[in-house]
Chain A
Amino acid sequence: MDLRKRFVTAGRKTGKSALGTLPVLLGVLLLTGLLTTLAADHLQAISGTIQGAAGPFIGAAMGSIAAGHPMTSYVIGGELLAQGISSTAIAALIVSWVTVGLVQLPAEATALGVRFALWRAVLCFISAVAIAYLTVGSIEYFS
């Protein structure tokens, strides 16, 4: 293939990719902006729901919905720990925060396929709860 044709084909492919992903990414960023604003307003109310045996599952669910820099999850986790929330629930929140990302799902589905994105979200949610129990369980076992 001559160089000019190669450039045109590569440009077309990249343009198609940009046209498909840009609107979804912008939409996801809008959702992230909305979610971080609304979640910050209701953090106190949210922390009350993360108690008890269901804590790790609720923590993982919160982390799955949440969006933003991972450091934010550490700060929120630290705040919740100070309020007496279990380490297991906090571990589930931190792990699902960086691995699940329901808000990012449309962007992931656009780039990697709907089936891939959905299965990954389900597996990551289950894994977040499992990792939380394993982490806290192993610390208790070795201490």
Chain B
Amino acid sequence: MKKARGDQKSQAQKPTSRFAWEWIFFLCTLALLGFVWLLDRDAGARAWSSFLALAGQILPILAIVYVALFAFNLMDAPVWLKRYVGAESGLRGWGVTLGAGALSLGPIYPWFIVLGELKAKGMRPALAAAFLYSRAVKPPLIPIMIHYFGAAFTLALMFFILVFAVLNGIVMGWLMSRPEKDTV
């Protein structure tokens, strides 16, 4: 009885404390910036400017992502999701994921949110990991990379990144399918 009451209490408290650590994390980073500013005002000011510039780039993209998520949440596990990245997507799933990862643009943060939603709706963890890894292939930046390191180095690096995107995906899929107590 006592335990049941305790469970009810903890469940009742859950909604209010749900996002507590997220806000604590944000306040800690803000405090860290304040600490750096106290030690070195110039570095603190430059870090703050850098943050504002980054936020200016990312927040508009996030707004679009949340609108897309809202539209996505209106649907119930769409058919295309199961077909292309779901449990039965097979080789097509790998092809779609690697291609989409390599061609995906912009900062990684909005992609975390998109992948989190897709994963919750049935995307294979292996494909989520492979997508994130294949983002290391940046076709628009290949000419710059060739300029700095040469064509042979760039092509070999891109090839191995794609190979390891698949390998990492396979290993992540296996790790995520294991019971939680056996892993990190």
CB of A24 within 8 A of CB of B25, answer: yes
> Interface size (B, Cβ < 8 Å)?
66
Quick one: CB contact mask for A46-79 with B, threshold 8 Å, 1 for yes?
Answer: 0000000000000000000000001100110110
Assembled-state Cα–Cα distance A96/B119 (Å): 24
Q: List 21 A-B contacts (CB under 8 A).
A: A10-B70, A14-B73, A23-B25, A24-B25, A27-B29, A29-B54, A33-B54, A34-B29, A71-B144, A104-B112, A111-B115, A115-B183, A115-B184, A122-B184, A123-B172, A127-B133, A127-B168, A134-B156, A135-B153, A136-B153, A139-B156
**Could you say which residues of chain A place their CB within 8 Å of the CB of B55?**
26, 29
Of the residues B22, B48, B74, B113, contact of A6 by C-beta under 8 Å: B74
CA distance A122 to B136 in the complex (A): 16
Q: B residues bordering A, Cβ < 8 Å? A: 18-19, 22-23, 25-26, 28-30, 32-33, 36, 43, 46-51, 54-55, 58, 62, 66, 69-71, 73-74, 108-109, 112-113, 115-117, 119, 125, 128-129, 132-133, 135-136, 138, 141, 144-145, 148-149, 152-153, 156-157, 160-161, 164, 167-168, 171-172, 175-176, 180, 183-184
Main secondary structure of the interface of B (DSSP, over half): helix
Inter-subunit contact B184/A131 (CB<8 Å):
no
Interface residues of A, dominant DSSP = helix
Q: Which residue of the partner chain, among A101, A111, A114, A124, contacts B113 with CB atoms under 8 Å?
A: A111
What residues of B have a CB within 8 angstroms of the CB of A134 in the complex?
A: 156, 160
Which residue of the partner chain, among B46, B62, B156, B164, contacts A25 with CB atoms under 8 Å?
Answer: B62
Q: Once the chains are docked, how many angstroms separate the CA of A25 from the CA of B28? A: 13
Is A107 interfacial (CB-CB < 8 Å)? yes
Give Cα A115 to B184, complex, Å.
Answer: 6
Q: Are A14 and B70 in contact (CB under 8 A)?
A: yes
CB distance from B160 to the nearest CB of A (A): 4
Contacts of B144 on A, CB cut-off 8 Å? 71, 74
Q: Which of A9, A14, A29 interacts with B66 by CB under 8 Å? A: A14
Q: Which residues of A contact B145 (CB under 8 A)?
A: 74
